[in-house]
Structure 1
Amino acid sequence: MLKKSILYFILPTVLLSADLSREVTTELSPSPKLAAALDSLISTPLLRHAHIGAAVYSQKSNTSVYSFNADKSFLPASTMKLFTTAVALQTLGEDFTFQTQVYLHGKSKDGCFTGDLVVKGDGDPTLTWYEGRSDSTSFNRLAAQLKAQGIKKIQGRLIGDDNVFDEQALGWGWGWENELYSYSAPIGGLSVNQNCLGVLVTPAKAVGERCNVRLIPAVRRALIDNRCVTVSDTASAHFQVFRTRGSERITLEGQFPIKHPGDQRTVTVLNPTLHTVDVLRCALTASGIEVDCDIFDIDELYGFHYASYAPFFIHESAPLADIVWEINKNSNNLAAESLLKTLGYELYGRGTAESGVAAIESWCRKNGIPMEGVSLVDGSGLSRKSYLTPDSFIKLLYVMRADSAFYCSLPISGKDGTLSHRLGDATCRGRVHAKTGTLEGVYALSGYIDAVNGEEWIFSLSINQAPSSRARIYDLMNRFCMMLIKTEVQ
């Protein structure tokens, strides 16, 4: 049975004078017609087996105007990122940056450096990100600086230090079946290229031969099991890539016609730290520096310390405002999880998800955001153990409306991000600024709507346990937004 809901609309108020206007409070009048329309929409047979919650709030009057199961708990999917990014901006500041430092300890003679090169991570999820996800521009700058010091060869050890974060590489409640995919990339205190590896496959020169495989970048740690064959032009192309759980073994299966241009896939790596120093080795070699080094995670070197070393090279990330833009516009899970652990490290000295969650919960309580029915375990919403309520989203969005970095990070209907292909008609385009969320059976949308009547609505819509197709659910959610956009004062 549907819970009773009601929607109010702002009515014009006659102001007797400019002085008196400060004392006039906006009166609201119910609109049963629209309330009934929204109730009818979310009670459609399409959702008869689903768990649904919705809330609409007037930004101008600071008043709740529609509520349906708004105090109930829902899986938020990627709308969880609204909480992570909001608290990060408010706590760390939009100008906060990550700093990845490189240390040298050893001796140089005749152009050869012998010793340790240590890369110390700061939790930056964007290393090489802004320069291009498949290259290593940041490391190329390091190579240039080494060459400027006359270093032509490095022999010894390349060491990665990821200890700013704990060793929990995957979020609590993440599905093991997703580990292969980039949206479930492992979390690390030292990361590069989104902790993913490109796999490019092209046909060989003769039918029956194994296809050619190229890793991007050409790291050494990955083990390739190539079962992909070249076939005649009359055959179809198909291709799959797998990484064996708990290993760096990558298996390729499929076939490519001999004249096919080939295809590229992305696969996650097992160990972000070792992958990062492996990518560094590739970048140094490509720059012309000879590298005769083994690679290590600092945890493998018992008793190794370098606190007294001076940093040789520092890479500074883009400011937090830019990182939040990427997280919310394009729903970047790795960046959101890194931000969660960074909150824990910066506030409590512990780079763990638990400490990050504690930071979010503390900020929410201080800002009056209702936490009843809320349970948080990750920063991206990929977990099925995090729960939020529409009411908690409404309050968060109300508190954050004045934060321009937060508002500008939200996808815009018909224009960019995950809303670029939704609500793009002339009336709706550009009027919805909201974060999307999608998991299997889970759909969510929370943000702001600029109505044609001049009102700005804050809204949150959550649908869980929805067995219907994604396209049909998206259409229903779009219609929910359209009703609010096109509503006229009655």
Structure 2
Amino acid sequence: MFRKLSVAIALGIALCAHAQTPTAPPSYADLPLAEQITRITSEPGVVRAHWGVSVTRLDGTPVAAMNDGQLFQPASNAKLFTTAAAMALLPMDDHLKTQVIASGNYYGKGTLDGNLVLKGVGDANFSGRPVPFVRVPAGTTAPHRDELRYIDELADKVKAAGITQIKGDIVGDDSLFPNDLYPADWSIDDSPWYYGAPINALMIADNAFNLKVLPGAAIGSKPTVVMDPALPFYTVDMQATTTTKGGESALDIQRSMGSRVIRIYGTLAIGSAPYSQDMSIAEPAEYAAAALKAALEARGVLVSGTTTAKHSSFYETSFTRHSTEPVNNLTLSPRRKVLLAAPTCSDCGTRVLAEHVGPLLRDDITITNKTSENQHAELFLRQLGFYYFGSGTSAQGARVVRYFLTKTVGIDGDDFLFFDGSGLSGHDLVTPRAATKLLAYAATQPWGAFWKDSFPVGGEDGTLRARFPAAPLKDHVFAKTGTLSEARGLSGYVDCASGQTLIFSIMVNAHTPRTSDDQKAMDRIVAAIAATN
């Protein structure tokens, strides 16, 4: 299937309008909370959307509700359910180890007669990201990251192990999890972008790279492209041209499925800002192998072979049937030990030459929730399936989550249906009351405080760093955001003027496209909740 992406960059648009002072929204502070919610969601800009609200005390006692038993697309609020299950059921103090394994005969004098295998075990932070999570204040940008730093470290270790020549291939091995790259109903329109990148056991740099297009030096010249990481895995067919200063800047970026050629059409004006986009790596295991091969060759190691990938087969007759199959009792799978160390033996032609020890799993909970990382949530889902059923598919992971939510938390099984772990699937459905029930349950658990701390904080960090920037809500809203087309969600905890903490879940579907009126209304509802005595 052919992928066509259109990106328009508007420059130098002058709007002739009289300056107007923004009109303050009406206040309903003298009304009961439920009535305030009704009034806010009935205003002209948001009344046509479908709203659901659940507000409870920490013990789960209802405070206010609107359509709280109706099903909504949760968007990234789905990550709450995935990360809560992970906190409760996975060993949060474990580290995942990505290993480089020599497979073949080692003759000494530096020669490996066989393949060098980069074995992935689902480490979501095999990248340049700082771990633990580092706050990036609103209005600032994060410093540049060396996304291949761990590849370089592994190459150094292979060289230090005495390897100077490899008479074989460099293999990216993501076979620990089945080749289930895209969850059910992930949109094909999302697949070229970083947030829609595939999911596999050998994830590198979040399975994404940055593409930057800069105008040429002269009118009619071709724009230039910079990729980060600067790995020659994808090539660019540049059909765009540079136009006059102040002229139209409009780019059309195309990539065919399965192709490594990116085609760029359109115009870019001289002096215009670079167009920057984070794109997905469609073949992450082979990309990782290519990165390791380049790093080894840069260190003088000769590689006679090529790069390839090792996958495990995947088929699934029905996601819904597999993910909702009843579970009498969760028991750990013996296969889970493979996540912690790849088995090797000296008499079967394998030898670990280097390994990278990933961060604590608990640290990735924070990253997943703070910055809403889709691929990280999906890896937690696969790890849940692998730990308990020995199969790292999204369906088996969703089966574990369903068991946890219904049998442990006590949520009605008809109050949710998840097809993935991140909320990017258009099939995901959940009720606001399911979210508040989960949040109330977590408040009673030993892991609940850490989980709450993993949420974005209003006016401070993550996806809430630019929302709730002023008192009394700044630093007092702890909530997971969610945005997917015309669906939006916000669920979490808020410190109230009375000194109590309330739980809330606000979901809106089918809001007017290309507006933020629903988000503004959502934030006003949070403010109304916070003012509750």
Please give the range of the TM-score, normalised by the shorter of the 2 chains. 0.7 to 0.9
- Aligned runs of 1:225-374 on 2, under 5 Å? 225-233=237-245, 235=247, 237-257=249-269, 262-299=274-311, 308=348, 309-365=350-406, 366-374=408-416
Question: CA 1:47/1:233 → structure 2, altered by over 3 Å: closer, same or farther?
Answer: closer
Q: Which moved more, 1:265-274 or 1:77-86?
A: 265-274
Once residues 206 and 299 of structure 2 are traced to their aligned partners in structure 1, the CA distance between those partners, rounded to angstroms, is 22
CA positional deviation for 1:227: 1.4
- Is the Cα contact below 8 Å between 1:241 and 1:265 reproduced in 2? no
Other-structure match for 1:378? 420
CA positional deviation for 1:321: 1.7
- Aligned runs of 1:420-435 on 2, under 5 Å? 420-435=465-480
Once residues 158 and 475 of structure 1 are traced to their aligned partners in structure 2, the CA distance between those partners, rounded to angstroms, is 51
Q: How many residues align?
A: 454
**Larger Cα-atom Rg:** 1
Deviations 1:456-487 (A, max 9, x none): 10011111111254421111001000011122
Within the candidate set 478, 502, 523, 1:478 is matched to: 523
CA positional deviation for 1:429: 0.4
CA positional deviation for 1:260: 6.0
- Aligned runs of 1:90-169 on 2, under 5 Å? 90-105=88-103, 106-130=105-129, 133-169=145-181
SS in 2 for 1:372: helix
Indicate whether 1:201 and 2:243 are aligned. Answer: no
Within the candidate set 468, 493, 497, 1:448 is matched to: 493
Other-structure match for 2:434? 392
CA positional deviation for 1:237: 4.4
SS in 2 for 1:168: coil
- Is the Cα contact below 8 Å between 1:78 and 1:331 reproduced in 2? yes
CA positional deviation for 1:63: 1.2
Q: Which moved more, 1:458-467 or 1:366-375?
A: 366-375
Once residues 148 and 172 of structure 1 are traced to their aligned partners in structure 2, the CA distance between those partners, rounded to angstroms, is 44
Within the candidate set 432, 449, 452, 1:404 is matched to: 449
Question: CA 1:204/1:282 → structure 2, altered by over 3 Å: closer, same or farther?
Answer: farther
Other-structure match for 2:76? 78
Q: Which moved more, 1:197-206 or 1:327-336?
A: 197-206
CA RMSD of aligned residues (A): 2.5
- Is the Cα contact below 8 Å between 2:176 and 2:312 reproduced in 1? no
- Is the Cα contact below 8 Å between 2:158 and 2:354 reproduced in 1? no
- Is the Cα contact below 8 Å between 1:210 and 1:230 reproduced in 2? yes
- Is the Cα contact below 8 Å between 2:33 and 2:64 reproduced in 1? no
Q: Which moved more, 1:144-153 or 1:69-78?
A: 144-153
- Is the Cα contact below 8 Å between 2:169 and 2:303 reproduced in 1? no
Indicate whether 1:53 and 2:52 are aligned. Answer: yes
Once residues 152 and 213 of structure 1 are traced to their aligned partners in structure 2, the CA distance between those partners, rounded to angstroms, is 34
- Is the Cα contact below 8 Å between 2:497 and 2:530 reproduced in 1? yes
Report sequence identity in percent: 30
SS in 1 for 2:413: coil
Once residues 513 and 215 of structure 2 are traced to their aligned partners in structure 1, the CA distance between those partners, rounded to angstroms, is 39
Question: CA 1:300/1:452 → structure 2, altered by over 3 Å: closer, same or farther?
Answer: closer
Quick one: which amino acid aligns to residue 264 of structure 2? L
Once residues 201 and 514 of structure 2 are traced to their aligned partners in structure 1, the CA distance between those partners, rounded to angstroms, is 37
Other-structure match for 1:174? 186
SS in 2 for 1:476: helix
Question: CA 1:170/1:141 → structure 2, altered by over 3 Å: closer, same or farther?
Answer: same
Quick one: which amino acid aligns to residue 311 of structure 1? V
Other-structure match for 1:7? none
- Is the Cα contact below 8 Å between 2:161 and 2:353 reproduced in 1? no
TM-score (norm 1): 0.86
Once residues 214 and 111 of structure 2 are traced to their aligned partners in structure 1, the CA distance between those partners, rounded to angstroms, is 38
Other-structure match for 2:506? 461
Quick one: which amino acid aligns to residue 94 of structure 2? F
Quick one: which amino acid aligns to residue 74 of structure 1? F
Quick one: which amino acid aligns to residue 466 of structure 1? H
Deviations 1:104-143 (A, max 9, x none): 1232554444421011111122112425755311111111
Once residues 312 and 274 of structure 2 are traced to their aligned partners in structure 1, the CA distance between those partners, rounded to angstroms, is 39
Question: CA 1:252/1:469 → structure 2, altered by over 3 Å: closer, same or farther?
Answer: closer
Once residues 311 and 393 of structure 2 are traced to their aligned partners in structure 1, the CA distance between those partners, rounded to angstroms, is 17
TM-score (norm 2): 0.79
Other-structure match for 1:18? none
Deviations 1:11-52 (A, max 9, x none): xxxxxxxxxxxxxxxxxxxx9633322222223333333221
Deviations 1:386-423 (A, max 9, x none): 11111110111011124222111101111111111111
Gaps of 5+ in 1: 1-30
- Is the Cα contact below 8 Å between 1:133 and 1:194 reproduced in 2? no
Question: CA 1:292/1:211 → structure 2, altered by over 3 Å: closer, same or farther?
Answer: farther
CA positional deviation for 1:199: 2.5
SS in 1 for 2:411: coil
Quick one: which amino acid aligns to residue 107 of structure 1? Y
CA positional deviation for 1:209: 3.5
Once residues 516 and 214 of structure 2 are traced to their aligned partners in structure 1, the CA distance between those partners, rounded to angstroms, is 34
Quick one: which amino acid aligns to residue 262 of structure 2? I
Q: Say which structure, 1 or 2, has more relative contact order (CA 8 Å, 6+ apart).
A: 2
- Is the Cα contact below 8 Å between 2:46 and 2:517 reproduced in 1? no
Q: Which moved more, 1:419-428 or 1:198-207?
A: 198-207
Once residues 65 and 349 of structure 1 are traced to their aligned partners in structure 2, the CA distance between those partners, rounded to angstroms, is 42
- Is the Cα contact below 8 Å between 2:107 and 2:113 reproduced in 1? yes
- Is the Cα contact below 8 Å between 1:195 and 1:272 reproduced in 2? yes
Other-structure match for 1:28? none
SS in 1 for 2:294: helix
Quick one: which amino acid aligns to residue 433 of structure 2? D
SS in 2 for 1:339: helix
